Chains A and B, each alone.
Chain A
């Protein structure tokens, strides 16, 4: 089986995000990058499927900046066989990313039997690349999956819906699945894995190589800002019994008119 996993590299969750100079993105100079946590589930699932289907290969594909390649290296250290990196700015929009991923998969010369993605990226939270990719590739897809079973060409997946209920889907391969937390426990990359990853092939392509042009952009970012700082909490002094009635009324009034919570 040819298994592809789309991985995004996102800022570490502890990053203090700052807008960049012209407001088109965040400042990325001193960011520590990690693999998008939801994509870790996708990589793990791919490795489990590979283990169950002798002769399979796992190719990880990423679109983004090439200065740091943390996410792809981690995926290969976990056990993926090869990587494709499509060089692009880190603030590309979902449509262009999906088109680049499709272009990279097409160009790999392997016909994909299974494409796995994380259900969302924790940086821009767009939640749409897997669906756009599925539409472009004309493949069936299910997102937010928490269970996976395979029987020949048939795949049965569990999808989590609001309230914790599950939907069960049956699909035929090839298909695109987007993983959620709970589907598996991603393995750690081992030290031998890290050393082996160094010798695994990583192919680098440009957006032009995969057929993406500036015209493909559907969204242009222009004004990244930090959220307004929360105003300091209000303190009320009701130590003196004589004031208490008045203070309580004042607090209740503010909760109604200002905070609008009661």
Chain B
């Protein structure tokens, strides 16, 4: 048993933290208020190897383990959860290719991402189907020498900036998950209509839109696996991506904790610093407990995946726990800041708004519990 990060992982964390303090934190509030897409941060992050952590060395990637990736992920989200959602989006979109693509597809689709800062979106959710992803209504029809894709996707991160879309669709919606298939679609294919930018509660710098596919012609060789293989690919993707998304929550939680400690030592009420009031001490102790437990769960979920072992339940446990903890911790941070916490002049209200999303995307906190309960109780 060994809980220590390697010297390289510590260095990766320190370097990513430095990046987040110098390149993200100074812009976070302004980008949030103006809904500015962090394109410069993404480009710089790409140059440093923070983007596309899932691409294997064989296709030009950096060969990071998932433990490496969540370690870096925590440090980047410390700077801004919203920016990091957009930085990490490529990992969600490209992992299906890593886990379900052929050699030829990996070479064709993944390598270009290591050669220039391209963006990709992961398109699963639809207006009428969120948690019940197997109910996908977007269809893919076999036209002999090509496919035709039709339907609408909703809440797609980075959609307005993506060069590629990995789209989940069905050969026949009546087949439910048995019909689901995954295809790789270029933004330049004809018939793609990108919706307007959604106005959100938080993570405002991250771009979120709907997309409509109007009889889009897709080459045969762009389907991952075969028809009906999509569900398996999606589930494997989630095993990999849930620890990553959980690290977004952890970074936000750690930031809220650090800011709370700093403020509680500075601010005096009743002639003593807030940190001398037991009620505040307990809130901070609670934050620390949740941060440490989240980190261990995330590391375990990532480590299991790196060992090639099944991590579905622990990944869901990590995701639900880290996301719910982040919501609680950031809410308490606002509480500790009192009236100042409620103001946009201080950084904590943004953390609270940003945190909420993590309980919703990549499987809501309820859906994670569903996964955990199914495993614990048997089907």
Contact = CB atoms under 8 A, between A and B. Distances in A.
A73 B8 CA distance: 9
Interface string B5-30: 00110011001001100000000000
Q: Which one of B11, B64, B68 has the greatest number of beta carbons of chain A within 10 Å?
A: B11
Given A188-B48, A190-B48, A190-B49, A195 B8 contact: yes
Nearest to B19: A188
A9 to B, nearest CB: 13
B375 interface: no
A189 B15 contact: yes
Contacts of B72: 191
A194 B18 CA distance: 14
A198 B8 CA distance: 8
Nearest to A73: B11
A216 to B, nearest CB: 32
Contact of A188 (B7, B18, B64): B18
A191 B62 contact: yes
Nearest to B16: A191
B62 A195 contact: yes
B248 to A, nearest CB: 18
Contacts, number: 36
Contacts of B50: 191
B202 to A, nearest CB: 27
Contacts of A189: 11, 15, 48
Contacts of A73: 7, 11
B49 A191 contact: yes
Interface string B38-66: 00000000011110000000000011100
A60 interface: no
A190 B8 contact: no
Nearest to B69: A191
Contact of A194 (B15, B19, B47): B15
Contact of A74 (B11, B49, B62): B11
A192 interface: yes
Contacts of B64: 191
Given A195-B8, A198-B8, A188 B63 contact: no
Nearest to B68: A191
A159 B47 CA distance: 32
A195 B11 CA distance: 10
A195 B7 contact: no
Given A188-B18, A191-B64, A192-B62, A77 B11 contact: yes
A195 B68 CA distance: 11
Interface string A54-78: 0000000000000000100110010
Interface of A: 70, 73-74, 77, 188-192, 194-195, 198
Given A191-B49, A194-B11, 8 more contacts: A73-B11, A74-B11, A189-B11, A189-B15, A191-B62, A191-B64, A192-B62, A195-B62
9 contacts: A74-B11, A77-B11, A188-B48, A189-B11, A191-B12, A191-B50, A191-B72, A192-B49, A194-B8
